[in-house]
Amino acid sequence: MGTFSKDFIFGTATSSYQIEGAIKEGGRTPSIWDTFSSIPGKVVNGDTGEMACDHYHRFEEDIEIIKSLGVDSYRFSIAWPRIFPEEGVYNPEGMDFYVNLSKQLLAQGIKPFVTIYHWDMPQWAHEKGGWVNRDSVKWFKEYAQACFKALDEYVDMWITHNEPWCAALLGYHQGVHAPGHTNMDEAVKAAHHIMLSHGEAVKLYKEELKLEKPIGITLNLSPIYAASNSQNDLLAANNMDGYLNRWFLDPIFKGKYPEDMMNLYSKYVHSYEFIQSDDLELISYPCDFLGINFYNRQLVEFSGASDFLYRLAYSDYPKSGMGWDISPKEFKSLIYRLRQEYTQLPIYITENGAAFDDVLEEDGTVHDTDRKQYMEQHILAVAELNQEGMNIAGYYLWSLLDNFEWAFGYGKRFGIVYVDFETQKRYVKDSAKRYAEIVGARKI
Ligand code: IFM
């Protein structure tokens, strides 16, 4: 059993492109995800975010659902192309949506936790080179400043970027996310500029604007394990850890890139001159917390045929509907490692959850026992970590609603609330009821 203090924050999370819809309303122009998802073959089933959960029109109903869960906080992101539909052109109508959303959350006693960038870069910015162009740092800073000025009085905490690994590596190296490029040189530059824009935004917030709410970044971290103790498999695990975890943790917390990975990448990255003299100091500008999105551990083995000498290995762990290992024990190990190697800042679990094949019964119930169990295991792990003094300050369940799961479309349901995408009717799943019970009792 585990308990939670009164000031521990429980919440749920979403992101703009995954739920809002209304892609042509309120002065919004296309984002890279509108473009990418409209290319045949890029998203399962040809799904796009055009309608998503129609949250733009139904946010009041969604706030009622959040309220019924009894959570302290709601994490959402802002759609950049609503705020700057063109370069340098601010759109107050786009911002009004988030001001209104935040005010209504506050009126219900729910704290807004805002992510500035959750992958929906404006198409205009992409056409000027996107994150590969160093000017993206300037564009992001202008956008972040507009968000801080309009929303800081309502917002409880700020996240600059959600999962830079996905935006940079899935978007520019693996090509499975927008903008769909497969170029490691671009990916490393994109990652650098995303992190630099994070540092610039934090510095702006604290030094120039002198604002005082907690601000940080969210990383998707997976502990990587070798399939055996062979030198080759250990090397494979080290490389994947570098690719996924250290490439972001080291610059943010140690002010340097991992040398082994710089060497490994130099086959693709012909010059590191794009890293300018003060960049790492800015990237490691002190934040107030670290956000972590945790889903699974990963097991890898050596592969001479792969770019960085690793590939995923067979694992006999139970799996979520994404085929990901369910691994609450390794979640705890990840936190121990962060505490030992990287930071003593408060940690927020800004996402944790699982997709499963849910069945909507005729009476409107969804008995998502697997998701309930996944959630319980991870919340219990958080309670245990806190008993050991690990200072986890909050937990956000991903996700409030079934939504647009990027390249997987609407087929993968992560919500604790079922969405019928034909009618847009919402149905509270058993996992949501159980979550409300845990939050209410502050005990698991
Ligand atoms: O849906 C995503 C979210 O946008 C970012 N983190 C992982 C989730 C599940 O894949």
The per-residue b/e assignment along 155-171, b for 16 or more CB within 10 angstroms, e otherwise, is bbbbbbbbbbbbbbbbb
pLDDT attached to residue 40? 98
Contact 32, 398 (CB under 8 A): no
Name the closest-CA residue to atom 1, ligand 1: 405
Distance 349 CA to ligand 1 centre (A): 13
Ligand 1, pocket-test mutation among 118, 163, 244, most atoms within 8 A of CB: 163
Torsion of CA 275, 279, 284, 286, to 10 degrees: -170
Name the closest-CA residue to atom 4, ligand 1: 15
Q: List the one residue out of 57, 73, 64 whose CA is nearest residue 14.
A: 73
| Residues 33-70: tens digit of each pLDDT | 999 999 999 999 999 999 999 999 999 999 999 999 99
Q: Which ligand 1 atom sits closest to the C-alpha of 405?
A: 1
What phi and psi values does residue 440 have, to the nearest 5 degrees? -65, -40
- In angstroms, rounded to a whole number, what is the distance separating the alpha carbons of residues 141 and 98? 18
Distance 405 CA to ligand 1 centre (A): 7
Ligand 1, pocket-test mutation among 53, 397, 406, 410, most atoms within 8 A of CB: 406
- In angstroms, rounded to a whole number, what is the distance separating the alpha carbons of residues 193 and 170? 15
pTM strictly above 0.75:
yes
Contact 44, 406 (CB under 8 A): no
Q: What is the mean pLDDT of the chain?
A: 98
Ligand 1, pocket-test mutation among 14, 15, 371, 396, most atoms within 8 A of CB: 15
Instruction: Name every protein residue with a CB atom under 6 angstroms from any ligand 1 atom.
Output: 15, 18, 163, 293, 351, 398, 405, 414
DSSP E strands: which ranges in 33-91? 73-77
Radius of gyration of the chain (CA): 21
Contact 17, 28 (CB under 8 A): no
Distance 14 CA to ligand 1 centre (A): 9
In the set 163, 200, 301, 330, the catalytic residue is 163
- In angstroms, rounded to a whole number, what is the distance separating the alpha carbons of residues 65 and 432? 10
Which tokens hold the place of 248? 């972001």
Q: Which ligand 1 atom sits closest to the C-alpha of 398?
A: 8
Residue 388 is among the residues annotated as catalytic for this protein: no
The sheet carrying 298-302 orders its strands as 224-226, 298-302, 310-312
- In angstroms, rounded to a whole number, what is the distance separating the alpha carbons of residues 232 and 226? 9
In the set 20, 200, 351, 405, the catalytic residue is 351
pLDDT attached to residue 1? 86
Tell whether omega for the bond before 30 is within 30 degrees of 0, i.e. cis.
no
Residue 163 is among the residues annotated as catalytic for this protein: yes
Q: Which ligand 1 atom sits closest to the C-alpha of 351?
A: 6
Q: Express as a percent the part of the chain with pLDDT over 90.
A: 99
**Which residues of the chain have a pLDDT value below 70?**
none
Q: List the one residue out of 164, 176, 153, 156 whose CA is nearest residue 118.
A: 164
Name the closest-CA residue to atom 2, ligand 1: 405
Contact 375, 431 (CB under 8 A): yes
Q: Which ligand 1 atom sits closest to the C-alpha of 118?
A: 4
| Residues 363-418: tens digit of each pLDDT | 999 999 999 999 999 999 999 999 999 999 999 999 999 999 999 999 999 999 99
| Residues 233-254: tens digit of each pLDDT | 999 999 999 999 999 999 999 9
